Structures are given as structure tokens and as C-alpha cells.
Amino acid sequence: MPECGSTNTEARELIGQNRATDGCTVITDKQTAGRGQRGNQWEAAPGENLTLSVVWRPAFLPAAASFHLNLAVALAVHDWASALLGPDPALRLKWPNDLFYQDQKLGGILIENTLNGAQIHYSVAGIGINVNQTQFDAPTATSLSRLTGRAYALPPLAARLLESLERRYLQLRAGHVAALQQAYRQVLYRYDEWHTFEVAGKRAPGRIVDVTEAGQLVVEQAGGQRRSFGLQEIRHVLND
């Protein structure tokens, strides 16, 4: 569609109208009210970036294991970017599912689930990736064009991204969760490195050592103590 407030909202409306099949995709050139993690707004210039949402019905996935879908989607986005940029250690997934190049954000993912008892009924994976945009309000944002110095046709990139998402989703459906977890740790931003984190308004050094089954970040703190944190409980300090 040419314009919408949020592709995730449009996808959920299709679900409510019983019009969303498994793999149904909503894509737009102009998203006026895109959302990111922590309730942040997603900045995207019209016609310059990829903004889309994919609907799945992962009946095989218990609600308690919903983070496994995050793993699959985040890895699919990383796979897609790696195919464009080549193997590059600067291309990472920042927990839980942002795409980073060095210390700048290249893309973001927001997954919203509808539950049916203890199972996931529907999942909507919203994905925003900076492609041709070169001017950003946020100094921590970047794009493919900034990194490569070239412009991209969006439809072929969208098609390749959907293929990448399907591959990782089928891997998840086949039960290869351990492989997904291992692959995620291998490309996790600042994994096994000492950096500064902010917890409850205070900054302290820490080292990411794992991600739990429920998707919590496990951080080793000074003195060797390990703690698990949810999304709203810990932040990376990017300028440390």
C-alpha cells in the first residue's frame, strides 16, 4: 500500500477480519506511525526504506517459547544484510532484535503476538530497515546507502528479505532451536565483551554471557555475579 500508519496495525486488522493467511505481508512506501521496541517511534523517510509486516500462525510454538520466533526473524534480517554487505564482523544483532552496523542502527524488528491459551495464535513481525535514506535525526542511525555509497531498488530487496524470513521460519518450525540460538549468539552485539550498561538509572560495567529461553539478557557484572534482565530493565550505553 502507498501509505499507512503502521504495517503492524494493518496486519492486525487483517487478522481481525479473518483475511490474514500464513505468511501474509503488508508493505508500504510511507509509514507515518511506525513503532519500535520500548514504545519508540521508527523514523523512516517515505519511499526510501523497507517497512513491512509479516503474519504467521505458529501453532507449533508455545507462548512461553515466543522468543524463539524473535531469534528466527532477527537472524533472517541479519542473513539478508550479510548477503548484501558480505561477511562483516561489524554487522550485528543488538539484543533483542535490532540490526546494527558497528554502533549504529540499520534496522529494527517489533514482534506482536496474539495468544490462544498457552499457544501463540498469530504473530505479526514488523520490520523496518534503512536502505536509501541518508539523513537521520538520530546520530545512531545508518543505512545501506550510507555504508555502500549506492542506491538500491526496493522491490528486489523486499523479495529477498521475504525469502530469508521463510528459510529461518521453516528452520524454527522444524524444531532446530539450538541451531538458531547458537547462530544468534555468534552475531550478538557486544557478546562476551565488557561494556557499560544502564540499570535502574545507574551505569556499571558488564559482559553479555547468554540469552535465556525466555529472551532475557544474561549479564555478568563486576565481581562475577550474573543477572538476567528483561527489555525494560537494562540498556546499552552506546558511547562508552
Q: What is the mean pLDDT of each run of 10 residues along the chain (240 residues)?
A: 79 91 89 58 76 96 96 98 95 97 97 93 96 93 97 97 98 98 98 97 97 97 95 89
**Which amino acid does the sequence have at 117?**
G
Distance CA 173, CA 151 (A): 35
Using alpha carbons, select from 156, 167, 154 the residue that is nearest to residue 76.
167
Using alpha carbons, select from 196, 30, 11, 24 the residue that is nearest to residue 103.
196
Pairing type for strands 119-129 and 217-221 reads unpaired
* Helix then strand then coil, % of the chain, to nearest 5: 30, 35, 35
**Rounded to 5 degrees, what angle do the CA atoms 174, 100, 103 make?**
150
pLDDT score of 40 = 55
pLDDT score of 31 = 74
The structure's pTM equals 0.93
pLDDT score of 38 = 47
Angle subtended by helix axes 67-85 and 154-173, to nearest 10: 140
pLDDT score of 44 = 66
Distance CA 37, CA 131 (A): 20
